[in-house]
Structure 1
């Protein structure tokens, strides 16, 4: 943030205000609570089925047995990884909305572009990662996507001014 100019900081603040205005924090919190319940219920069903079916061979008598903990951790990791594309897609949508809000509030798409370019260089983020990496690991739009969207927004703003 120290390397950003005032108009770039203004855009970043407007972006963050967009999260507040659209209540993204509340929606993400609600989504996290709901997905946690679903995740735990799936874990409950799956671990009980696996222990009933294979527990004897693994030396696990019941789910409450401490020896079932590695199975729980493995299942938790696999299910969490499997649902991460859904959570990341929702997060990327809220980021796009906040970007658009920031541009609308500041009326300065150039500041948005320059701030994202500087933030990308400073964070050493891959500007255009492979699609699977983006789907599973990126909770924010890639920098290439953001810059493309902002350039489209700039064209619309120029057309509106004519």
Structure 2
């Protein structure tokens, strides 16, 4: 099934439906605003899932988006344990373990003994893995920069600050 991005009019209608969904004829302004935000996050998540799927397939045909996310997390962190990855990605250790095994077989990551815990391994991206990741990201590398080209720098910083507060479950300063 293919989805198309909602137009501004569609989003307004979705927000109106969220407000008038029958839950209560007197939904407060905060609830309406949160529902409109939820709609926008849904659109953003759909876009990100599509990007992850495309990047995963460019990295290795048939690679699942979840394995791609595990790989990009390892690449970003430098090195990580399986347990730390499971915690960071809010995933089951078995699921992460399967992704790690696949990434290892593809030569994208390697295991080394964890000097702090002999029972554990540190996972890190290989030089080949990092090079392939750079090549995969290149086509869409500037898409966010292009999307925000007409935005004021202060607006970008404000959005970043607010998203950080939301993801940290903190009230914005």
Asked if TM exceeds 0.5, the reply is no
Higher Rg? 1
Structure with the higher fraction of residues in helix conformation = 1
TM-score (norm 1): 0.32
Structure with the higher fraction of residues in strand conformation = 2
